[in-house]
């Protein structure tokens, strides 16, 4: 006779089996989804093309990432950018989020991930949109800093850019808008307590020379860190560019003053550097341009924003050749060539760049304005002291920011040539809330603008 387990034991086994099945079902159920942004703040522009994007990473335990959907479900300012203006692309665990702006201002955009079974999670993207600009199709925005002040081309459309509010050099891909690919903080290398106020840059071979403004600060106070010429060594090119700090000198300001005094105080450098004298006056003292003489790796042309010569409306712009700039960047006393006075229609030098034939492109602007309230223009100059520069283009001034540096002159300085300029947006109210760009709380919202122009 076959024996059977007691009925009570059978019931217990059934209960245990049911419990195990339920537990297995619970363990197989997807967990809550997660959503994370690569940056919580994003800047765009009205009418912009190629605006920056952010990456969103989504996941859900027990579910394939391709089964998750990401959508915008709420906007705090639909007139700036609504939920329908948020585009999410990609199907795996990493998606790309882009936003189209309709008006200047701010909008908090709520992004939601939804998984199988209806579980959701949200995160907030803090979005800021600047106004439309002229030539928007060719405009790109360099984010992370707003006070672009000097730049050099390192190949492949990539730019090394200085910012006059810090001592960090940034590498950008100039073909797209967005954050720097790499940064080099030079505070320690320079031994700086404050910004060097870098205003000019010039490249000779693999060496880039950077020069501070040399002038007082806006309150007329001398800041030693601004009295700086330093070098960096470039290796690689394009996105693979690397930098190494070279040397620095901190006496060019004093040498310029002594040289001017020895030559009859022609340019008033002593008065321009006196305590209490702001630098951005017609009779001030402020350097903004740097470029090497044709065929030389030692003689550099230092272009002055102030003073004008004579120091009044309609005065000429001033360039002073430093004939041993390679040694000045090591702390040696400067030697000077014959100064050059150029008629730029009452404007002064904001930057200058030389082509391979020895012809110069001069970015001219007001000695006083930090924005677009005064004219800007491009001039071509053949490098001969007695020859008059020729205006090649009046630059647009209806948009925020002041034209600050010539980033690239890929061909001869002649009619039809394409040149890349960058704005200093530090004093601009980009988003219409009265906050200047340099004071914005998030680096993703701070930005300068780069645009190509064709010479006339």
pLDDT tens-digit readout, 284-337:
999 999 999 999 999 999 999 999 999 999 999 999 999 999 999 999 999 999
Token pair, residue 379, equals 């001039």
Q: What is the pLDDT of residue 28?
A: 55
d(CA 379, CA 352): 9
Average pLDDT for residues 172-188, to the nearest whole number?
97
The DSSP result for 93-137, as a single string, is SEEEEEE-BSSSEEEEEEEEEE-GGG-EEEEEEEEEEEPP-TTGG
Average pLDDT for residues 37-53, to the nearest whole number?
95
Q: Same structural domain for residues 148 and 83?
A: no
Q: Same structural domain for residues 119 and 178?
A: no
Q: What is the pLDDT of residue 10?
A: 40
Q: What is the pLDDT of residue 21?
A: 42
Q: Same structural domain for residues 243 and 265?
A: yes
Does 249 fall in a domain?
A: yes
Task: Give 425-442 pLDDT, tens digit per residue.
Answer: 999 999 999 999 999 999
Residue where a domain stops, chosen among 85, 100, 130:
130
Q: Same structural domain for residues 166 and 100?
A: no
Q: What is the pLDDT of residue 30?
A: 77
Token pair, residue 53, equals 């994007």
d(CA 179, CA 442): 12
Task: Give 250-294 pLDDT, tens digit per residue.
Answer: 999 999 999 999 999 999 999 999 999 999 999 999 999 999 999
Does 65 fall in a domain?
A: yes
Does 29 fall in a domain?
A: no
Q: What is the pLDDT of residue 25?
A: 40
Residue where a domain stops, chosen among 105, 130, 155:
130
Q: CB of 311 within 8 A of CB of 223?
A: no
CATH number at residue 365: 2.120.10
Does 237 fall in a domain?
A: yes
Q: Same structural domain for residues 112 and 234?
A: no
CATH number at residue 99: 2.60.40.1080
Least confidently predicted of 10-19, 33-42, 88-97, 360-369: 10-19
Q: Same structural domain for residues 152 and 98?
A: no
pLDDT of 3 over the 80 cut: no
Q: Is 137 exposed, middle or buried (0-12, 13-18, 19+ CB in 10 A)?
A: exposed
> Number of folded domains in the chain?
2
Q: Same structural domain for residues 329 and 207?
A: yes
Q: Same structural domain for residues 123 and 195?
A: no
Q: What is the pLDDT of residue 13?
A: 39
d(CA 189, CA 147): 21
Does 211 fall in a domain?
A: yes
* Beta carbons within 10 angstroms of residue 237's beta carbon: 13
Q: Same structural domain for residues 153 and 114?
A: no
Q: What is the pLDDT of residue 441?
A: 97
Q: Return the closest-CA partner of residue 453 out of 389, 372, 396.
A: 396
Task: Give 18-35 pLDDT, tens digit per residue.
Answer: 444 444 444 456 789 999
pLDDT of 367 over the 70 cut: yes
Does 396 fall in a domain?
A: yes
Distances (CA, A) of 283 to 212, 304, 436: 19, 11, 27
Q: Same structural domain for residues 156 and 101?
A: no
Task: Give 99-119 pLDDT, tens digit per residue.
Answer: 999 999 999 999 999 999 899
Q: CB of 75 within 8 A of CB of 83?
A: yes
Q: Same structural domain for residues 151 and 98?
A: no
Q: Same structural domain for residues 117 and 219?
A: no
Q: Which domain holds residue 124?
A: 34-130
Q: What is the pLDDT of residue 26?
A: 44
Residue where a domain stops, chosen among 98, 130, 162:
130
Does 265 fall in a domain?
A: yes
Does 259 fall in a domain?
A: yes
């Amino acid at each position: 006779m076959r024996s059977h387990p007691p009925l009570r034991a059978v019931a217990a086994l059934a209960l245990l089996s049911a419990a195990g099945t339920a537990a297995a079902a619970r363990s197989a159920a997807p967990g809550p989804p997660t959503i994370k942004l690569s940056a919580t703040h994003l800047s765009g522009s009205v009418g912009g093309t190629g605006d920056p994007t952010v990456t969103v990473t989504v996941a859900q335990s027990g579910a394939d990432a391709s089964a998750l959907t990401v959508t915008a479900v709420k906007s705090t300012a639909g007139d700036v950018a609504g939920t329908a203006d948020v585009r999410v692309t990609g199907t795996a665990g990493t998606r790309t989020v882009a936003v189209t702006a309709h008006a200047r201002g701010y909008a908090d955009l709520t992004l939601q991930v939804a998984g199988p079974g209806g579980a959701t999670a949200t995160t907030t993207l803090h979005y800021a949109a600047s106004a439309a600009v002229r030539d928007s199709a060719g405009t790109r925005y360099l984010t992370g800093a707003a006070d672009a002040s000097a730049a050099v081309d390192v190949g492949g459309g990539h730019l090394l850019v200085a910012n006059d509010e810090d001592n960090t050099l940034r590498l950008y891909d100039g073909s797209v808008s967005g954050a720097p690919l790499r940064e080099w903080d030079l505070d320690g290398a320079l031994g700086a307590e404050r910004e060097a106020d870098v205003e000019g840059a010039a490249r000779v071979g693999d060496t880039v020379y950077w020069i501070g403004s040399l002038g007082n600060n806006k309150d007329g106070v001398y800041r030693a860190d601004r009295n700086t010429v330093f070098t960096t060594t470039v290796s690689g090119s394009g996105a693979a560019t690397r930098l190494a700090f070279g040397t620095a000198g901190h006496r060019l300001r004093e040498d310029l003053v002594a040289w001017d005094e020895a030559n009859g105080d022609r340019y008033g450098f002593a008065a321009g550097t006196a305590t209490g004298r702001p630098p951005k006056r017609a009779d001030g003292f402020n350097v903004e341009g740097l470029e090497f003489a044709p065929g030389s790796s030692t003689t550099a042309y230092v272009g002055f924003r102030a003073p004008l010569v004579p120091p009044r409306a309609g005065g000429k712009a001033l360039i002073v050749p430093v004939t041993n700039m390679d040694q000045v960047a090591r702390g040696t006393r400067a030697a000077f060539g014959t100064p050059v006075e150029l008629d730029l229609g009452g404007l002064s030098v904001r930057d200058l760049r030389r082509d391979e034939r020895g012809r110069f492109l001069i970015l001219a602007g007001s000695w006083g304005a930090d924005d677009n309230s005064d004219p800007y223009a491009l001039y071509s100059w053949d490098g001969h002291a007695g020859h008059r520069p020729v205006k090649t283009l009046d630059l647009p001034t209806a948009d925020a920011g002041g034209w600050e540096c010539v980033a690239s002159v890929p061909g001869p300085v002649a009619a039809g040539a394409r040149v890349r300029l960058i704005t200093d947006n530090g004093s601009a109210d980009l988003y219409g809330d009265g906050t200047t760009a340099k004071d914005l709380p998030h680096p993703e919202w701070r930005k300068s603008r780069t645009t190509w122009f064709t010479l006339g």
